[in-house]
Structure 1
Amino acid sequence: MKIDKNIIKELSNYLDEFNLTEIEITEKDTKIKVSKNNVSVNNQPVTTPSSINVKNENVSSAANIKSGIEITSPIIGTAYHSPEPGAKKFAEVGKKIKKGDTIMIVEAMKTMNHVPSTADGVVKEICVEDGHPVEFGQTIIILE
């Protein structure tokens, strides 16, 4: 069986374009799956150079993480700051948050998952833009 290399290149480009870690297509009885290699260092995921821009953005907020409480996404999906478009945001910089308060919604497979705060504090930084994708374990909010 001969596989068209252009399809693999195109799928690989989609990984970078849409910030994906894996993509798969099936046509008749042919299935092609392309994924990025992820490496772990001290149990912390490190992405390959193809997504270095994303890691560089996170590095700039690394100093803030040390001086605050980091709240991470419990799942992969799309982050939303409010329950519906135009509604009041769950969390804003400077707002007091109590443990258990919803700070964001992460949509995964058409299901809206409320993300509760794991601690009391004041929102220092919101690390994810509204409507943007998040990965499991990615920092979404930092509290002081």
Structure 2
Amino acid sequence: MTEGIRFDPAQIRELARILRDTDLSEIELVEKDSRIRVVRQVTVAPAATATVSVPPAPPAAAPAAPATAAAEPAEAAPPPGAVTSPMVGIAYLAPEPGAAPFVQVGARVEQGQTLLLIEAMKTFNQIKAPKAGTVTRILVENGAPVEYGEPLMVIE
């Protein structure tokens, strides 16, 4: 561990509690020069049980199963040009209630420009544009909870 950096055990316990209560697999908190990342190992046994229960009904489920299986990977993969959430928290599209949003669909943004805020652990984190381009879609609503890796908006 790096000397001089002290982590609050209560804060780590709180992050672990959030993981357990929300069924998330990991959570990360970044403040100034310190970073805390708590990862929970996810067991794959329930998925194997679900797979075993699918084969007994192949005649009725066969046409629907491929469509569902094909739809899931498409939803899991972020769209091209997506800006994804670096943390779990609440997304805010404007700097304060009643203010104009940081960006709107069709807006031209520069690399490093603030796109939105994510509040995590009572800290507002600026989410900046990773590249210059045009905002083509905003995929979150103001005040909506977001998860790590969730697509927030698309810049093309």
TM-score normalised by length of structure 2: 0.53
Report the structure number with the largest CA radius of gyration: 2
Seq. identity, % = 37
Give me the whole-angstrom Cα distance separating, in 2, the residues matched to 1:134 and 1:70: 14
Q: How many residues align?
A: 95
Amino acid of the structure 1 residue aligned with 2:123: T
Task: Determine the structure 2 residue equivalent to 1:120.
Answer: 132
Unaligned runs of 5+ residues in structure 2 are 1-20, 25-39, 45-49, 51-70
Specify whether residues 85 and 118 from structure 1 end up closer, same or farther in structure 2 by C-alpha distance, changes over 3 A only: same
Considering fraction of residues, name the structure with more helix. 2
Structure 1, unaligned runs of 5 or more: 1-14, 23-34, 40-47, 49-54
In the alignment, structure 1 residue 135 sits paired with structure 2 residue 147: yes
Please give the root-mean-square deviation of Cα atoms over the aligned residues, in Å. Answer: 2.9
The Cα shift of 1:21 comes to 2.1
> Structure 1 residue 38: deviation in Å?
7.4
State the 4+ residue runs in structure 1 displaced beyond 2 angstroms: none
1:65 aligns with 2:79: yes
Tell me what 1:21 maps to: 23
**Counterparts in 2 of 1:143 and 1:107: CA distance versus 1, 3 Å:** same
What CA distance in whole angstroms lies between the structure 1 residues aligned with 2:142 and 2:97? Answer: 10
Report which of the two has the higher share of strand.
Answer: 1
**Amino acid of the structure 2 residue aligned with 1:101:** Q
**TM-score (normalised: structure 1):** 0.57
